[in-house]
Amino acid sequence: MFFCLAVTCLNCTEASDTYDQFMDIQLDIRMSNSINQALCQYVQPEQLGECSYRCSKCHQMVTALKTVTVHQPSNVLTLCLNRFDIFSNRKIKKSVAYPECLDLRCYTSEPNGTPILYNLYAVLVHAGTTCNSGHYFCYVKVRNQIHSDLVWETIKGCILHKNIFTYDPC
């Protein structure tokens, strides 16, 4: 999977694209109530401060616009919800809605086109109040088993009960 980091000079509109490989997408959930909101925030263009970017065409420090998008998605998508405040080391205990089916298309470098669909099949949960303590456990949706839907319904109920996520069907 590759990110595209696009920086555009607001003085001359010269654009510079950089492509980086990544394993997961780190999502800031402080201002988001859902995975979709967090992804929208992730790809939201950010204005870099005055004199914070050196334009290769203007040959000077300028104000620029930075945008990060998914350029080349992979077969498996891993989303990491940043649930810890870096200053207090405390866990952010808010509900975040997640769909069972996610279309990544609108968060890519080419937002128009066929859907890029991912189905939720696992949730890794941290039980603890700080990043230095607690336990991790995982809920996995099992396919091709007689009671897989029943197992998944139980998992969703348990996750809802623990106020970790809220379920948002596609």
pLDDT band at 158 (very low <50, low <70, confident <90, very high): low
What is the predicted pLDDT for the residue at 28?
92
Token duo for residue 44: 């939201």
Range of 35's domain? 2-168
pTM of the model: 0.78
Distance CA 110, CA 34 (A): 22
What is the predicted pLDDT for the residue at 104?
95
Q: What is the mean pLDDT of residues 63-83?
A: 92
CATH number at residue 36: 3.90.70.10
Torsion sign, CA atoms 154, 156, 158, 160: negative
Number of domains in the chain: 1
Please provide the average confidence, as pLDDT, over all residues in the chain.
83
Q: What is the mean pLDDT of residues 74-103?
A: 86
Which of 30-44, 118-132, 154-168 has the largest mean confidence?
30-44
pLDDT surpassing 80 at residue 41: yes
What is the predicted pLDDT for the residue at 55?
92
Q: Residues 89, 94, 96, CA angle at the centre, nearest 5°?
A: 120
